[in-house]
Amino acid sequence: MEAVYQRYGYDFRHYAKASIKRRIRNLLDCKKFRHLSEVIPRLLYDERYFEQVVFNFSITITEMFRDPNFYKTLREKVIPYLKTFPFIKIWHAGCATGEEVYSLAIILKEEGLYDRSTIFATDFNDATLKKANSGIYLLKHIKTYTANYQQAGGKESFSDYYYAEYDSVILDKSLKSRITFANHNLVTDNVFGEMHLIFCRNVLIYFDRSLQNRVLKLFRESLIHNGFLCLGNKETIQFSDVNYDFDLTDEEAKTYHIKTVEDCATMPAATAS
């Protein structure tokens, strides 16, 4: 990991060790290497091979309306607050292949917020960003996506948002009009300022404690006062340095909002941030 960082600038040194070991074992199995020492020279001197490895190290497990109850909570507890703003800026960090970005776009459309929203969807993997930007997904997943959408409180027919072609579906172009896909590395890059809402779901679980803390501080600095942060259902800010900067909006959905200046003023001096 140190060699990869020095050679390419990708920093995996603070990913959770169990996650890194699992991906390295997969790498050895796929390429039929017996020892890690066989991989290292190729990794450092063959840039195309390194790109394959980066893809393997990326977190690309996702689906549309993943965890439907989360999206239902988003409609009920977060969207009403966002409606009070004339415009909304959203950062979807670690967007992978984009299914959850488009899920959010659909909710914003149905709630009348999409046309005054700007969504920045970021990942460090250019291959996944290219797929996300295409908005093309396998037809075989649509049954699952449709069920998720319905459970998430969908107000229309899910088929209105795509059309099928051969074994794929292409999402409606209108869903992409307010989305900007961009390369951003949570490990090494800086803040996105003045966001009303940040999504980073099921990413922090792959980081060790120090990197989680670094990323959560990044999110804190990127949010407006009373802005919202949405994490995965197995993730928490409880043991981080930003814990006292946020109030919990919903325990099950793991949504938080930044405390107002007035809230912070009433906190004990020892814990105020």
Contact between 243 and 211 under an 8 Å Cβ cutoff? The reply is no
Cα dist from 103 to 68, 117, 190, 208, whole Å = 10, 14, 26, 28
pLDDT of residue 271: 40
Nearest-5° Cα angle at 82, 79 to 83: 90
pLDDT reading at 1 higher than 90: no
Q: Which of 209, 216, 231 is nearest to 14 (CA)?
A: 209
Residue 171 burial (C-beta neighbours within 10 Å; 0-12, 13-18, 19+) = buried
Q: Would you place residue 60 in the very low, low, confident or very high pLDDT band (cuts 50, 70, 90)? A: low
- CA dist., res. 183 & res. 178, Å (int): 17
Q: Is the pLDDT of residue 121 over 90?
A: yes
Higher pLDDT: 107 or 265? It is: 107
pLDDT at 138: 95
The side-by-side arrangement of strands in the sheet containing 195-200 is: 179-183, 117-123, 88-93, 195-200, 223-231, 255-258, 246-250
Its CATH class, for the domain covering 68-134+173-264, is alpha beta
**Is 176 in contact with 117 (CB distance < 8 Å)?**
no
Between residues 10 and 209, the one the model is more confident about? 209
Phi-psi region of 61 (alpha: psi -120 to 50; beta: other; left: phi over 0): beta
Mean pLDDT of 255-267: 66
- Tokens standing for residue 257: 């909002």
SS3 256: strand
Predicted structure pTM score: 0.86
Q: Quick one: average pLDDT of 11-16?
A: 82
3 state SS for 173-241: HHHHCCEEEEECCCCCCCCCCCEEEEEECCCHHHECHHHHHHHHHHHHHHEEEEEEEEECCCCCCCCCC
Percentage of residues of the chain with pLDDT beyond 70: 93
Q: Compute the mean pLDDT over every residue in the chain, rounded to the nearest whole number.
A: 88
Q: Model confidence at 38, in pLDDT bands (50, 70, 90)?
A: confident
Residue 221's pLDDT is: 94
Q: What is the pLDDT of residues 138-170, one digit of tens each?
A: 999 999 999 999 999 999 999 999 999 899 999
Q: What is the pLDDT of residues 179-223, one digit of tens each?
A: 999 999 998 888 888 999 999 999 998 898 999 999 999 999 999
**How far, in Å, are 83, 96, 114, 172 from residue 76 at the CA level?**
12, 26, 16, 25
Q: Could you give the residue range(s) of every CATH 3.40.50.150 domain in the chain?
A: 68-134+173-264
220-249 confidence digits (pLDDT tens): 999 998 899 999 999 999 889 999 999 999
| pLDDT at 151 (0 to 100) | 96
Predicted local distance difference test score (pLDDT) of residue 59: 63
pLDDT of res. 46:
87
| Overall average pLDDT of the 35-50 stretch | 84
Per-residue model confidence as pLDDT tens digits over 73-111: 999 999 999 999 999 999 999 999 999 999 999 999 999
pLDDT of 116 over the 60 cut: yes
Q: Does 268 score more than 70 pLDDT? A: no
Contact 74/255 with Cβ under 8 angstroms? Answer: yes
